[in-house]
Every structure is written in C-alpha cells, then in structure tokens.
C-alpha cells in the first residue's frame, strides 16, 4: 500500500505550510472539566527554555489514568481483529490524538499534560498491553519532542509544543538498507542553486511514518554533517509505503519512505552534534522496553483467559480442572513473576532517565550522568528481553495443542517480542555494558555525527 491508498487523515497543510508559522491553537481539555487551554506562548522573549514536563511537578497518576485508560480499553478491544486482518490501526491512533496522548510530555504551561518521563513510560506499558503495535509506532514522536521542546531557539520550542498539543504526530525515518552503517548514511539534504533546501533518499523501517503528520529524517549535509530533518509527511516528493514484511509488529507502519527532491525548511535541519549530550539513546531503548513489558502483561492475561474456562486437562493431570492443576498454576505463577519483574526493571530505568531530564533542565547534568542513564537502559534491555521472550514461549505450557490454534493468535506475543528485541542486538549492548563497567568507556563513545569525505553517496533523484 502507498500514499495513494492511505486514508486522508492529515490536517490541512495550510495550517503549517512554513515550518515557523503558527498552527491552529493547541487545545487540551482541563482535567477538572473546565475550558480548553492553549498556554501563553506568544511572547518569545519570556518563553521558558524547556517546554517539557520535566520543569513542573508531575500531574497525579489518577488524572492521567482517568484520561487514557478508557482509550486504551477501546484500543484493546480491536487489537486481535487488527492482528488477524493485518489492519493498520488508524482509528486507534486517532483516538490517541483526540485524547491528547501525543502531548503527554508537553508542559502544562504550554497546553500539554506535563507528564513526567516515568509516567509516560508507565502509560506506554499499559498501551502496549492493549496493542504493542500502537505503543511502538509512537516511539519516534516522543523521542523527537524530547529535544525539540528544549531547543535553543524559542520559536522552534513553541512550534513543536503547539504541533503536539494540536494532535499532530511525528514519525521516524532513520534506517537505510545496503549501506555500511551510520557513517555511510546516503540520504542527502542540500540547497539548490536558488537556495531551496531539498531532501533525497530512501529509508526503511520507517516506524509510525504512515500515521504521522511530520517525519524526522536522518540525513547528511553536503559538508558531511549528520543531521535530523523535519519533513511534512504530505509534502510533494514524499512517498510512504506499507511494505513492512516482518513477522511481528506488523501494524506499526514500519515500511519504506522515499524522498525525491522534497523541499524542506532549513529551520528544521538540526545537526546531531548540536544535541549532545543526548538522552535519545536511553529513551529509544526504554520505549521498546516499555512495549516489551506490555507484551509481558498480555502474555499473563492470555494465559489466564485460556485456562480459566478450560475443562479439558492433561492426560496425567493431578486434577480434572485445569485452573486447579499445580503444574498449570506454576506456569502462570512464573509468567506473572516475569511480567512483574519486567515492569519493575523498566520503570526503575525510566526513573533514572526522569531524574536526568530534571537535572538537565536545571543545567546540572554531566556526561557521566548521561552515561549512567544509558547504561541503566541497556542493563534493563539485557534482562527484560529474556524475561518476555521466555514468557511468550512458556505461555504454551498452560495447554495442549489447542493453545496453538490460529484463531487464538497466541503466537503473536513471541513474534512481536522477538521483532522488538531484534531492533538493538542484545549482544552489542552486553559488550557496551561490560566495557563501561570494566574500563569506564562511555556508551556514547562510538556515536557518529558526520560522514567522512568520499563516503559512497546514493540518493534517490540525484
């Protein structure tokens, strides 16, 4: 499926034809039921340097639960049918837009919810329990906002705060096929002879882009500097393809995105080096881990849902009622413990990242602080991946061959978890953690911020 067959769900392009123009006023319903607010963002001279929830006391968990749990329940109700039909979750994404989920991290002063990073991760776990595809596809959105809302330019901060609160989402297009690595990024952004900046290239695994209003694109300038480029998803020359053929996370919109001479605003081009030190290494991993933890919860739920009504038991079972069988009880107990441990580990790492964002907002964060948080996220990855994958396999021990019925789709948990776990190889993170513990090596030491002269260039349209 290409853009020609995608539902027309993007907002009026005229609302944000220019990167710096003012979009429709952002509106968020007051939790107490009062009128919607937009935040006082008109005076750039007094605009706070940080428009995330890290500069405010977090809202009560109960307030966030009341706002989003009913939405998650409705998303969960259609998840199995979407999985069976491989139906992209446009309706589910729209429900989240309408509820203001994409503005969770925008400060209340700027019209958002002002949630802490810990609260965001907790809600992502719940959303992934409902549908891991929907939780996963928002990864690029929240990652991009973490930096955009703290950009040195006040107009940029204001623009992205308003976009998020208005319900607009950001997809991610970074990975390429056939190149040698980050040092060989082939997507290029450069000015024409008339000074118009153009983007050319092809991206794969463009998670969330099919659902997005904006796309965060990894590219290289003509001087070799690696940059992030903000591109309107409906811009001329952008083609989004629903051709992701992985066996898991099939509805994340992680297909190919092609950019052919796409006009971009230079204000949306940001060098990687300008955003160092960065929390994105830890955040990108934590978002995946939150999704895995949600799958772990779903494994437990499906195990219970399978066993409780079941009357047929093993031929040598100790009791004729499966839910009373000590062996079945033991399996469910292990699944429950694994899910509890995954939740606890992910939230512990999230609290470390949360604390880092608050110290960064105060200007007291150091590179060592960033390293500690990166390592915590990677340590969590080493354990959570194994917990959830083992649980998704052991789930089948609660029943016989009927547990493998295609109508139950219990295999989806392993397929989804395995796909997520393959994003960032565990073996690579094991080495990074070990090197840091033994030798104090920063996990950011290998970050590539530029492409060396003479690197191979292959960009669509050039």
**CATH number, domain at 367?**
1.20.140.10
Please, what is the average pLDDT of the chain? Answer: 88
Do 286 and 270 lie in one domain? The reply is no
Same domain, 285 and 242: no
Mean pLDDT for 312-336 is 84
pLDDT beyond 70 at 120: yes
Long-range residue pairs from 154-158, CB within 8 A, at least 24 positions apart, any chain: 154/44, 154/45, 154/47, 155/20, 155/44, 155/267, 156/20, 156/267, 157/47, 157/49, 157/51, 158/41, 158/44, 158/47, 158/51, 158/110
Pair 268, 290 in one domain: no
Confidence class of residue 235 from pLDDT cuts 50, 70 and 90?
A: very high
User: Is 420 in the same domain as 322?
Assistant: yes
pLDDT for position 212: 98
Q: Residue 411 pLDDT more than 90? A: yes
- Give the strand pairing for 188-191 and 170-173: unpaired
Same domain, 152 and 187: no
**Where does a domain end: 232, 250, 274?**
274
| Final residue before a domain boundary, out of 274, 301, 327 | 274
pLDDT at 215: 98
How high is the pLDDT of residue 448? 66
Say whether both 314 and 346 belong to one domain.
yes
Number of domains forming the structure of the chain: 3
Select from 106, 138, 167 the last residue of a domain. 167
Looking at per-residue pLDDT, the higher value among 167 and 23 belongs to 167
Residue 90: is it exposed, middle or buried by C-beta count within 10 angstroms (0-12/13-18/19+)? middle
Q: Which residues pair with 257 in a beta bridge?
A: 203, 240
301 lies in the same domain as 408: yes
Of the given ranges (10-19, 252-261, 310-319), which has the lowest mean pLDDT? 10-19
Here the tokens at position 242 are 């629903």
Report d(CA 77, CA 130) in Å as an integer.
8
pLDDT at position 419 is: 97
Residue 189 dihedral angles phi and psi, to the nearest 5°: -130, 130
Q: What is the CATH number of the domain that holds 259?
A: 2.40.110.10
* pLDDT at residue 184 in the model: 78
Please check whether residues 326 and 201 belong to one and the same domain.
no
- Percent of the chain predicted with pLDDT > 90: 75
- pLDDT given for residue 315 in this prediction: 60
Contact 148, 176 (CB under 8 A): no
**Lowest-confidence pick of 7-16, 46-55, 108-117, 378-387:** 7-16
Assess if residue 17 is contained within a domain. Answer: no
CA–CA dist 450, 145 (Å, integer): 23
> What integer is the mean pLDDT of 332-350?
98
Q: Does residue 224 fall inside a structural domain?
A: yes
> Domain holding 145: CATH number?
1.10.540.10
What pLDDT score does 110 carry? Answer: 96
334 domain residue, yes or no: yes
Q: Are 450 and 274 within 8 A, CB to CB? A: no
Residues 367 and 402 in one domain: yes
Q: What is the pLDDT of residue 318?
A: 67
Same domain, 285 and 419: yes
Query: Within a domain: residue 200?
Result: yes
- What's the token pair of residue 148? 């955009």
The answer to whether residue 5 is domain-embedded is: no
Q: What is the 3-state secondary structure (H, E, C) of 98-165?
A: HHCHHHCCECHHHCCCCCCHHHHHHHHHHHHHHCHHHHHHCHHHHHHHHHHCCCCCHHHHHHHHHHHH
pLDDT average, residue stretch 114-118? 98
pLDDT at 18: 43
Does residue 174 belong to any structural domain of this protein?
no
Residue 177 has a pLDDT of 85
Q: How many CB atoms lie within 10 A of CB 461?
A: 15
Within this chain, do residues 129 and 57 fall inside the same structural domain, yes or no? yes
Which own/partner contact pairs does 68-73 have at CB distance under 8 Å and 24+ positions apart?
A: 68/99, 68/101, 68/123, 68/126, 68/127, 69/126, 71/95, 71/96, 71/99, 71/101, 72/126, 72/127, 72/129, 72/130, 73/130
Higher pLDDT, 33 or 379: 379
160 in the same domain as 187: no
pLDDT confidence tier of residue 456, bands split at 50, 70 and 90: very low
Domain of residue 223 covers 182-274
Asked if the structure places residue 173 within a domain, the reply is: no
The whole-number average pLDDT for the span 7-33 is 39
| pLDDT on residue 412 | 98
Decide if pLDDT at 43 tops 90: no
Q: Is a pLDDT exceeding 80 seen at residue 26? A: no
Residue 445 lies in a domain: no
pLDDT in tens, 165-211: 999 999 999 998 877 666 678 999 999 999 999 999 999 999 999 99
Confidence of residue 78 (pLDDT cuts 50, 70, 90): very high
Whole-number pLDDT of residue 452: 64
pTM of the model: 0.90
């Amino acid at each position: 499926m290409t853009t020609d067959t995608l539902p027309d769900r993007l907002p009026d392009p005229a609302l944000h034809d220019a990167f710096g123009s003012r979009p429709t006023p952002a509106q968020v319903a007051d939790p107490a039921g009062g009128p919607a607010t937009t935040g006082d963002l008109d005076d750039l001279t007094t605009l706070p340097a940080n428009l995330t929830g890290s500069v405010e006391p977090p809202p009560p968990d109960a307030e966030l639960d009341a706002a989003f749990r009913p939405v998650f329940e409705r998303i969960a109700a259609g998840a199995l049918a979407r999985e069976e039909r491989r139906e992209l979750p446009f309706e589910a994404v729209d429900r989240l837009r309408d509820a203001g989920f994409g503005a969770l991290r925008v400060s209340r002063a700027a019209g958002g919810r002002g949630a802490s990073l810990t609260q965001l991760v907790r809600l992502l776990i719940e959303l992934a329990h409902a549908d891991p595809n929907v939780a996963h596809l928002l990864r690029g959105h929240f990652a991009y906002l973490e930096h955009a809302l703290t950009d040195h330019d006040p107009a940029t901060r204001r623009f992205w705060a308003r976009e998020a609160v208005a319900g607009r989402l950001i997809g991610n297009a970074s990975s390429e096929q056939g190149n040698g690595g980050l040092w060989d990024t082939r997507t290029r952004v450069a000015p024409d002879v008339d000074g118009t900046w153009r983007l050319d290239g092809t991206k794969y695994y463009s998670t969330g882009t099919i659902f997005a209003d904006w796309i965060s694109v990894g590219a290289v300038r003509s001087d070799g500097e690696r940059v992030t480029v903000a591109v309107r998803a409906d811009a001329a020359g952008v083609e989004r393809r629903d051709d992701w053929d992985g066996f898991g996370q099939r509805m994340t919109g992680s297909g190919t995105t092609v950019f052919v001479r796409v006009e971009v605003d230079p204000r949306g081009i940001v060098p990687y080096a300008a955003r160092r030190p960065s929390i994105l290494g830890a955040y990108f991993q934590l978002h995946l881990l939150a999704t895995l933890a949600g799958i772990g919860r779903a494994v437990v739920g499906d195990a219970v849902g399978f066993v409780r009504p079941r009357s047929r038991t093993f031929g040598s079972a100790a009791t004729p009622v499966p839910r009373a069988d000590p062996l079945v009880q033991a399996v469910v107990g292990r699944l429950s413990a694994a899910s509890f441990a995954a939740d606890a580990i992910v939230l512990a790492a999230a609290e470390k990242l949360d604390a880092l964002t608050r110290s960064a907002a105060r200007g007291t964060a150091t590179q060592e602080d960033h390293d500690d948080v990166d390592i915590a996220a990677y340590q969590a990855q080493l354990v959570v991946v194994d917990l959830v994958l083992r649980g998704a396999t052991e789930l089948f021990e609660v029943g016989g061959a009927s547990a493998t019925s295609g109508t139950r789709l219990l295999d989806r948990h392993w397929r989804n978890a395995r796909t997520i776990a393959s994003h960032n190889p565990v073996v690579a993170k094991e080495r990074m953690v070990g090197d840091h513990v033994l030798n104090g090596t920063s996990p950011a030491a290998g970050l590539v911020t530029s492409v060396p002269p003479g690197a191979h260039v292959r960009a669509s349209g050039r």
